[in-house]
Amino acid sequence: MAKGFSKPKNVGKTFARLFGYLRPHIGALLVVAVLLVVNSLSGVLGTYLLKPIFNIASDMFKTGSRDFGPIFRSIFLLALVYVVGVTANYGVNRLLMKMNIQVLYEIRCEMYEHLEKLPLKYFDSRTHGEIMSRFTNDTDTLREMLSNALPNMISSSVTLLGVLVAMFLMNWKLTLLVLGILLVMTMLVGRLTGLSAKYFRARQAAIAAASGYVEEHFEGQREVKVFCHEQKVKSEFGQLAQNLKDAAAKANSYGMILMPIMGNTSYILFAVSAMSGTSLIIRGLMDIGTLAAYLQYSKQIARPINMISQQVTSVLNALAGAERIFDLMDTPVEVDEGKFRLERVGKEQWAWVRGEERIPLRGDVRFDHVTFSYDGKVDVLKDLSLYAKPGQKIAFVGSTGAGKTTITNLINRFYDVQQGSITYDGINVKDIRKDDLRRSLGMVLQDTHLFTGTVMENIRYGRLDATDEECVAAAKRSNAHFFISHLPEGYNTVLTADGANLSQGQRQLIAIARAAVADPPVLILDEATSSIDTRTEAHIEKGMDELMKGRTVFVIAHRLSTVRNANAIMVLEHGEIIERGDHRDLLDQKGRYYQLYTGMFELS
Amino acid sequence: MKTIRRLLGYVGKYKYPAFLTIACMIGEVVFEVLIPKYMALLIDNGISLGDTAYVYRMGGVMILLTLGAMALGMLGVIFGARSSTGFAMNLQNAVFGAVEDFSFKNTDKFTTPSLITRMTNDITNVQQAFQMTIRMAMRSPAQLILATFMAIRISGRLSLVLLCVLPVLAIGLALIAKITYPRFIAMLHRYDDMNASTQENLIAIRVVKAFVRGDYETKKFKKSASDVRDAQFNAEKILILNGPLMTLTMYACILAVVGIGSTHIAVGRMTSGELISFISYISSILISLMMLSMYFMMIIMSSASAKRLGEVLEEVPDIDENRSSTVRVKDGSIDFDHVNFSYSGSDENPTLTDINLHIQSGETIGVIGGSGSGKTSLVQLIPRLYEATAGAVKVGGVNVKKYSSDELRGAIGMVLQKNVLFSGTIRENLKWGDPNATDEEIESACKVACAHDFIMSFPKGYDTDLGQGGVNVSGGQKQRLCIARALLKKPKILILDDSTSAVDTATDAAIREAFRTVCPDTTKIIIAQRLNSVMEADRIVVLDEGRINDVGTHEELLARNLIYQEVYESQMRKEVA
């Protein structure tokens, strides 16, 4: 609802780093610096040139001379100075604009590129909104600083300095007086700014509370409607909006009250200068031209100070934003110390790369005494050992939180094992290039995520060099072809907003086709068919069986019917395998699986 | 324009501080405009009379005027902040209220993320524009007029300079605004696209990682980021002409005024003090124009936001909630009379076709069907979350349109496929069902939903904080909490939309058994994937591609319905094997 108000931790370091992005534009930057100075000084000089004009004019009045030559010469000079100033001004704007847009683009791209390399942990431990705001709010405030606040501060400082020098040259005593008044005003402003920080923080907190509420209840609109809570929710929000209003009214008042104070300070200086200057003229200690120029300066001097004080907040804000951006960029990326390479050498053929040699991949996966914890405190998996021989189907059954999904997270190294090891064809997964490893592990997740784009593009996501024919073949194999060809535009139907125009089951079918087109030696199905009805599931079963043939498969499922034909079923509880065997063995054991199967025990 | 007037309606009682702000700002300008006049007197009379006392007297007047202006300016800020934040609050409440009154069709049209942006960014933009309006929209014209008036009083002839320069400036500024506006809109669209794809990537990060598509996604992002960059450049290269144009005008004025003015001084037609104050007025005029052009820019920029807010406020809720209706829901019978339904409202792609179904009060109905067969759409028509495109949906023998939405929905307990819990404790969430529920009622509802035991296993029991979106409980636990929440409404109709999918068969069975004993008179509609969940229903509806394929008991369907047999096969076959 308004821009954040926060403090950067290390101004110097952040500035230095930002400057790194400007370095390639150092030539332009130098030109900008020169032009900024030229622009400011031409303003100062322009005013100074008023002095001879007024003096010549009043002398002419006194002497009755009609020689306008000197006046016109001065006017011409003034015009020249002004033209230079305007040109410089345009140059600054143009160069800065181009540079900033480019720099922002680079920062965005770098941030995104880095983001894509971050470990899954980073995403799991933050909300999307938090990450998004690096790309939106933080880059926006940074842009505001680079294109407005900083150049304004620089040119204001130069102007301030130039004006002060000119004023001192004209009359140093009067200037000391002016400075004294300014100092008092500046201190007052400083004090007010200090006070306002508290209110800005309060406003931030109120904004966060209201935004959070809006997000949660807009997303939960169905429940609000179904439970007729519209009135209650409205009044709760009303309270939050009221709090925000109270906080914002104070913050805005304190934040903006500087404007009339500083603005009118220039009139006070103007009045004081006019008074003193005139009495100096009466005493013959000053000429009218000097007073005219001096009065202009006295009006000009407060403005840069005002400017600078206004920009400080936005610079600080932007630096805090920049720190968050750099923070993201500094988050360590996924490490990949893998040496072993894997590649797809043909249809359903993958191989280990050793020099020129290609050793066919078998697809043997082993867990050897694996222990894992997300937070370093609670072990999610405890001393887990298991193996999947090439072509075997291994199923995991257990409650939410038993560690089923964690197992798949470890195989494809979304997270790394802390104790024990996972091997792939006898090679520790840590020694395999991550990209190769993941490419060789096809995944179908419970929450299907599709991307904006056509159905074809979404299937091709599995393997970018797949031809249209291969994509269609994969869709046919996963039984997705039938419904896709009934879509208005068939394979060219554009999916939007996470495939919202499809049913959950249809989306899942596309996700399965996507995995099929990747043609991986190992498949991981994490509740892949949980949202497809059993009849449809039965229909695609043939396709799935086809897909699983010759591949090592890990299946995680709630529905026991989907795991029955697995070579081995692991029953997980609290991170441990409590039972293992095939369907028949487990039923004979009359243990937990039997209880689950007969409905005597509940999975949560 | 209509939109703006509509939005301004929400200023409400904050129009008083708004008027005070305007008054203060105009007062400030009046004081400020008088200052150069006294300065001219001070300089000219002071110098010619050589009277220092006169100089100090005039100086004193100037300082008093300044202090007055300062005081009014400060008051203006305070009133302005009060008024604009109050306006923002009213707008927030209005937009929030409008969204709460939306039917899902309305919400689907806008999408939730877009509504959230409107609630936040757009309101901020409008608030800032409003604050600027009450501070500047009157002040700047007043400054323009008064300063021009004073300038003319000093020298009508010199004022002609303004007459030449100002139209050029005005045309220039208008041209820039006209050219940049569409370019800015285009830029904002690209910007939205970029953010949308970033968001999509974040949501699907597991897929991106699993398929090793980081580079591909980065490439995609760079394309849209460079689109944004180019659009931005395209818009801003024109916009930056603003500054030079303004300064150029200012300088041209000063040059002309000083040039002509100094010759006037030389011939005694004007005094030095007059020329100095004239320059002062000229800069006042130009500054006021600068402010006005900035103001217009801002208004143009924020008008997009205003438009987006207007859209929400003007959106007529697709479903008239009939708040005044006093018709009561008499019992839990439900009738579908030749109901057609499509999300688009047109006849193309119907989701439901010719649904004819009569459910008696207290009956238990199972609904099965493949993905996309229209099961969820069917039950959403009952509490009127969507409206039937053709035909009639009746509850208690009365068309659902006749009830007030509170009455209708109050009588229906619905557990949705995607369950949402809110931040707060378990108890607070359960009380959504009935704000006045006693602890005993809550507990017994939780027992029916088989939720009591796991709730008690938490250290804080019913006071466990769920976290945003209910992140602290598992999927199955969430579903059971949602069932308990629906039960607390003591509904006449209970709809369970695949809401025990993450709950185990045994618990599922226990919950259904509890339903039978605890609320035998409640009509129950159970949508499920598992046949186990619907087998014991009084009747089972088989939906296929939006049509009712068959209705009957388990035995009947097993004997005659092909789809049912297939589903049964798919689930039971292996068990026999």
Q: Which helix (H) or strand (E) holds B180?
A: helix B156-203
Residue B334 in this model has a pLDDT that exceeds 90: yes
B432 and B533 housed in the same domain:
yes
In this structure, are strands B398-399 and B412-415 parallel, antiparallel, or unpaired? unpaired
**Residues B225 and B134 reside in one and the same domain:** no
Q: Give the model confidence (pLDDT) of A42-86 as tens digits.
A: 989 998 998 898 898 888 888 888 888 888 899 999 999 999 999
Quick one: pLDDT band at residue A400, thresholds 50, 70, 90? low
Is domain A391-412+433-597 given the CATH code 3.40.50.300 in the classification?
yes
- Eight-class DSSP state of A135: I
**Domain membership flag for residue B101:** yes
Whether chain B has a CB inside 8 Å of the CB on A62: the answer is no
Which tens digits make up the pLDDT trace of B248-289? 888 888 889 988 998 888 888 888 889 989 988 988 888 888
pLDDT value, residue B577: 36
Query: Cβ contact (<8 Å) for A259 and B70?
Result: no
Asked if B141 and B160 sit in the same domain, the reply is no
Three-state DSSP string of A497-509: CCCCCCCHHHHHH
Give every CB contact of residue B47 below 8 A, 6+ residues apart in sequence: A278, A281, A282, A288, B272, B273
pLDDT on residue A494: 86
Domain membership flag for residue B74: yes
Q: Which of A221, A266, A501, A586 to mutate to test the interface with B (most CBs of B within 10 A)?
A: A221
Of A28-32, B89-93, B508-512, the range with the lowest mean pLDDT is: B508-512
Residue B79 has pLDDT above 90, yes or no: yes
Please report, for chain A, the start and end positions of each structural domain, with discontinuous segments joined by +. Answer: 8-171+317-334, 172-285, 391-412+433-597
Q: Print the domain residue range for B542.
A: 334-576
Which residue in A600, A512, A559 sits closest to B528, CA to CA? Answer: A559
Q: With 70 as the cut, is the pLDDT of residue B99 above it?
A: yes
Maximum average pLDDT range among A523-527, B219-223, B472-476: B219-223
Domain membership of residue B291 (yes or no) is no
B428: pLDDT strictly greater than 70: yes
> Has residue B318 got a pLDDT over 80?
no
Q: pLDDT band for position A531 (50/70/90)?
A: low
pTM above 0.90, yes or no: no
Q: Which of B77, B368, B570 sits opposite A260 (nearest CB)?
A: B77
Name the least confident of A214-228, A526-540, B471-485: A526-540
CATH, residue B543:
3.40.50.300
How far is the C-alpha of B156 from the C-alpha of B165, rounded, in Å? 15
Mean pLDDT of A173-194: 86
Tens of pLDDT, residues B378-402: 998 998 888 888 899 999 999 998 8
CA distance linking residue B285 with residue B159, whole number of Å: 11
pLDDT score at B472: 64
Same domain? B263 vs B394: no
Same domain, B467 and B512: yes
Q: For position B575, what pLDDT does the model report?
A: 47
> A8-171+317-334 with A391-412+433-597: one CATH topology?
no
Instruction: Indicate if B167 and B258 belong to the same structural domain.
Output: yes
Instruction: Write out pLDDT tens, residues A318-370.
Output: 888 899 899 999 999 888 878 888 888 888 788 888 888 888 888 889 999 99
pLDDT band, very low/low/confident/very high, at A5 (cuts 50, 70, 90): very low
pLDDT one-digit tens code per residue, A229-286 = 888 889 999 999 999 999 999 988 887 888 888 888 888 988 999 999 999 999 988 8
Mean predicted confidence (pLDDT) in B400-420: 84
pLDDT of A540 > 80? The answer is no
Domain shared by B171 and B85, yes or no: no
Query: Please, are residues B342 and B349 in contact by the beta-carbon 8 Å criterion?
Result: yes
Residues B194 and B139 in one domain: no
- pLDDT band at residue A499 using 50, 70 and 90 as cut-offs: low
How large a percentage of chain B has pLDDT more than 70? 97
Q: Is the pLDDT of residue B419 over 80?
A: no
In a domain, B323, yes or no: no
pLDDT of residue B16: 94
Yes or no, beta carbons of A596 and B504 under 8 Å apart? yes
Average pLDDT, chain A: 85
Residue A473 clears pLDDT 60, i.e. is over it = yes
Other CB atoms closer than 10 Å to residue B551's CB: what's the count? 18
B430, B518: one domain: yes
Which pLDDT score is estimated for B468? 60
| Contact between B59 and A534 using a beta-carbon 8 Å cutoff | no
- The separation between the first and the last C-alpha atoms of chain A, rounded to the nearest angstrom, is 40
B469 and B565 belong to one structural domain? yes
Is residue B324 in some structural domain? no
Q: What percent of chain B has pLDDT over 90?
A: 33
Based on the structure, what is the number of domains in chain B? 3
Q: Which of B236, B244, B254 sits opposite A97 (nearest CB)?
A: B236
Question: Where does the pLDDT of residue A543 fall: very low under 50, low under 70, confident under 90, or very high at 90 and above?
Answer: low
Torsion angle of the four alpha carbons B62, B67, B73, B78, in this order, in degrees rounded to the nearest 10:
-170
Contacts for B173-180: CB closer than 8 Å, 24+ residues apart: B173/B242, B173/B245, B173/B293, B173/B296, B176/B238, B176/B239, B176/B241, B176/B242, B176/B245, B177/B293, B177/B296, B177/B297, B177/B300, B179/B238, B180/B235, B180/B236, B180/B238, B180/B239
B99 contacts A218? CB cut-off 8 A? yes
- CA nearest to B409, candidates A238, A231, A503, A214: A231
Q: Say whether residue A73 is in contact with chain B using an 8 A CB cutoff.
A: no
Average pLDDT estimate for A438-463? 85
Chosen domain end from B257, B286, B316: B316
Residue B458 lies in a domain: yes
Beta A522-526 vs A576-581: how paired, if at all?
unpaired
B69, B74, B254 member nearest A257 (Cβ): B74
Interface test with B, best of A128, A135, A137, A264 (most B CBs within 10 A): A264
pLDDT in tens, A93-111: 899 899 999 999 999 999 9
Ordered DSSP codes for B399-421: EGGGS-HHHHHHTEEEE-SS---
Mean confidence (pLDDT) of chain B: 87
Q: A8-171+317-334 maps to which CATH number?
A: 1.20.1560.10
Q: Which residues contact B453 (CB under 8 A, 6 or more apart)?
A: none
- Which of residues 455 through 474 in chain A touch B, CB cutoff 8 A? 461-462, 464
**Is the same domain home to B120 and B195?**
no
Cβ of B226 within 8 Å of Cβ of A558? The answer is: no
**A602 to B567: CB separation less than 8 angstroms, yes or no:** no
Rounded average pLDDT over A152-159: 87
pLDDT band at B576 (very low <50, low <70, confident <90, very high): very low
**What is the model's pLDDT at position A601?**
55
pLDDT of residue A500: 57
Does a structural domain hold residue B328? no
A441 contact residues in B (CB cutoff 8 A): 210
Amino acid at A235: S
Per-residue pLDDT, B92: 93
Cβ-Cβ contacts under 8 Å between A and B: the total is 440
| Among chain A residues, CA nearest to B498 | A531
Can you read off the two tokens belonging to residue A40?
Answer: 């400011």
pLDDT score of A3: 39
pLDDT for B209 = 83
Residues of chain B found within 8 Å of residue A261, distances taken between Cβ atoms:
70, 73-74
Residue A267: list chain B partners with CB under 8 A.
32, 35, 62, 65-66, 69
Check if the beta carbon of residue A532 is closer than 8 Å to that of residue A508.
yes
pLDDT > 60? residue B461 = yes
User: Tokens 């007055």, residue?
Assistant: B68
B568: closest chain A residue by CA: A535
pLDDT in tens, B284-306: 888 888 788 788 778 877 888 89
User: Are B358 and B472 in the same domain?
Assistant: yes
To the nearest whole angstrom, how far is the Cα of A95 from the nearest Cα of chain B? Answer: 10
pLDDT at A603 over 80: no
What are the chain A neighbours of B563 within 8 Å (beta carbons)? 535
Mean pLDDT score, B492-511? 82
User: Cβ contact (<8 Å) for B505 and A219?
Assistant: no
Q: What is the DSSP string of B485-549?
A: HHHTT--SEEEEESTTTTS-HHHHHHHHHHHHHH-TTSEEEEE-SSHHHHTTSSEEEEEETTEEE
